[in-house]
Structure 1
Amino acid sequence: MLTEPRSGRLAAWGNALIAGLISPDEAVHRIVADDARHRVEGLPGEADPVGLSLGLGRLRALGATGLRVALPAPGHPLGLSGPPDFNARAMEAEEAVIASGGQPLGLVPEIFEAGPDGDLHVEVVWHCLPVRDAPPADVPSLGEAERELAEALREATELLSRMDVAGSGPVAQAALEAYRERAARGREVLAPGYPPRAVRVLELAQRVGALIAIAHGPDGAGGGGSEHGAAVSASQIAARAEALRPVERTARRAQVAAYNAYVEQRERD
């Protein structure tokens, strides 16, 4: 997962809300984004699902001082600390949010979609579950993440060149231009309160993610069309995916480091 994850939006803007830097309405607006609605289910003291604003307020009342992100993948429990039930649900969703301070709780999203492409109605239910109060797995510091990303970007560029992917066709060029356009719109990569280095690391991780998506083909999931280069057979597509896996892992670790930087800085201070 190298696009902006919902868990990243929830943690970033939830942290800004907890710090008193934005209003509840702005936090909800930023977190929900293009989705129709978000709710929180299973909060202690709440028998029924509640709206996102009430859910974040409830977490703060339960003692939450910050929100961390987990972006696990098969064989890589990135950001998780247990127990097994929570880890399994987070692994299935490929993302989760863990509240730090107060009662150890985690949130895992469940996505409900309806309607045709172009008019998709999306609702998200965040399931609140107990988590283990322990250090998260395999999360680097911002400094480590930045160094690893610089190397990963070089590796990704070299790999795509060797595979005849980078800049090899109009679809690849269009994908790169679309990424540059999004980056140039002045969007807020992270919420207020995050250190500038976290913004830099997240932007670089997203750039690496854009290169990986191009390498995987038009569908971003291993489609490997001829528009992106010469690798079109199943074995070549598999080899491309295998070669890029360490780069993708590095980019995911960097994303988590960036989203968790607010909590890390708060704990240091």
Structure 2
Amino acid sequence: MSGLVSPDDAVLAIVGDDAVHRVQGLPGESGPVGLTLALGRLRALGVGALRVALPAPGHPLGLSGPPEFNARALQAEEAVVCHGAALGLVPEVYEAGPEGDVHAEVVWHVLPVREAPPADVPSLGEAERELAEALREATQVLSRLDVAGSGPVAEAAIDAYRARAERGRAQDVLAPGYPPRAARVLEMAQRVGLLVSLAYEGGHGGAVSASEMAARGAALRPVERTARRAQVAAYNSVVEEREKGVR
């Protein structure tokens, strides 16, 4: 939206492996439109950037209301909020195609949003400090729950993460215009998220009873929240710096 990449490149990055993305409810359009047209129309409406929201039950991360938009975003566990126009987009993902050739299609529903600061989004500096502590906590929880002791399973997951991280660097996981610190914060947040996933999924350690599983969840939820907050801070850092007059 800021003009640093072409619309076609932006669409390719958004679509990824999905087959089709359409936008429903765009002002001035009577029906769904393609993503390229939608991005151009949003820019014409004054949208200069898009903020990411990653809400979860009890944590409306990145949202600003109203309740109708927040409810849809919480159900999807993700949303995009426009900077420069009081609009937000919530994705609806569904499968299409015949058996054996099923693919994902996405409809982005455009809804009005409240023009207010997004909920619970830290600065990059705050996110980086919080992540350093969260990484220590996640490692301690893994060790205490004996999840790290699952050996090859944990090692394979960490190796896969490292491979994805290397591929991400080669392909520029963040679009042009982001501060270098944002990429560092995003990478660390993804690493913390991986460790949390290992702790939730590891079934070869000592946490096997219902009470132990509950204790695992209680210990990891704050760490997982910190990682999500940091991801949102990284993705939205261009907008935040622009608002502060840095760019």
| Bin of the TM-score, shorter chain as denominator length | over 0.9
Tell me, in whole angstroms, the C-alpha distance in 1 between the residues paired with 2:4 and 2:42.
17
SS in 2 for 1:99: strand
Check conservation: 2:147, 2:203, Cα contact below 8 A: no
Residue 254 to residue 119, structure 1, CA distance change in 2 (3 Å): farther
User: Which of the numbers 215, 240, 246 marks the counterpart of 2:222?
Assistant: 246
- Summarize the Cα distance change of 1:115–1:151 in structure 2 as closer, same or farther, 3 Å threshold: farther
2:213 aligns with one of 228, 234, 237: 237
- Residue in 1 that maps onto 2:70: 87
Tell me the CA shift for residue 238 of structure 1: 1.9
Q: Given the superposition, is the C-alpha separation of residues 37 and 154 from structure 1 closer, same or farther in structure 2, using an over 3 Å criterion?
A: same
1: CA distance between counterparts of 2:219 and 2:209? 15
Residue 56 (structure 1) aligns with? 39
Q: Partners in 1 of 2:100 and 2:179 — Cα distance?
A: 36
Please give the per-residue CA displacement for 1:202-256, whole angstroms capped at 9, x wherever unaligned: 1100000010111111xxxxxx422xx2222222222111110000000011011
Using the aligned pairs only, state the percent identity.
Answer: 75
Contact 1:167 1:173 in 2 (8 A): no
Q: 1:39 to 1:152 in 2, by over 3 A?
A: same
Q: What does 1:103-122 correspond to in 2, within 5 Å? A: 103-114=85-96, 120-122=102-104
1:263 paired with 2:239, answer yes
Structure 2 CA distance for aligned equivalents of residues 100 and 187 of structure 1: 26
1:166 is aligned, of 141, 148, 153, to: 148
SS at match of 1:111: strand
1:146 is aligned to 128
Asked whether 1:189 is paired with 2:168, we answer no
CA 27–118 in structure 1, closer or farther in 2 if over 3 Å, else same: farther
CA 1:118–1:188: 2 relative to 1, 3 Å = farther
Match of 1:126 in 2: 108
The one-letter code sitting in structure 2 at the alignment partner of 1:81 is S
CA deviation vs aligned residue, 1:141-190 (integer Å, no higher than 9, x gap)? 00000000000000000110111112532211111111111112223221
Q: Any gaps of 5 or more consecutive residues in structure 1?
A: 1-17, 218-223
Per-residue deviation at 1:119?
5.5
Alpha-carbon distance in structure 2 between the residues aligned to 1:200 and 1:152: 15
Question: Judging changes above 3 Å, is the alpha-carbon distance between structure 1 residues 110 and 147 closer, same or farther for their aligned structure 2 residues?
Answer: same
**Cα separation, 1, equivalents of 2:27 and 2:63:** 21
Q: Which residue of 1 aligns with 2:203?
A: 225
State the AA in 1 paired with 2:11: V
Partner of 1:212: 196
CA distance in 2, matches of 1:265, 1:79: 16
1:72 has 2:47 as partner = no
Q: Is the 8 A contact 1:149 1:205 kept in 2?
A: yes
Partner of 2:24: 41
* TM score, norm. by length of structure 1: 0.87
Aligned pair partner of 2:118 in 136, 139, 161: 136
* Equivalent position amino acid for 2:153 in 1: V
- Partners in 2 of 1:119 and 1:143 — Cα distance? 45
- Gapped runs of 5+ residues in structure 2? none
TM-score for both structures, normalised by structure 2: 0.94
Q: How far apart, CA to CA, are the structure 2 residues paired with 1:140 and 1:147?
A: 10
- Give the 3 Å change call, closer, same or farther, for CA 136–166 of structure 1 in structure 2: same
Task: Give the Cα–Cα distance (whole angstroms) in 1 for the partners of residues 215 and 98 of structure 2.
Answer: 34
The alignment covers a number of residue pairs equal to 243
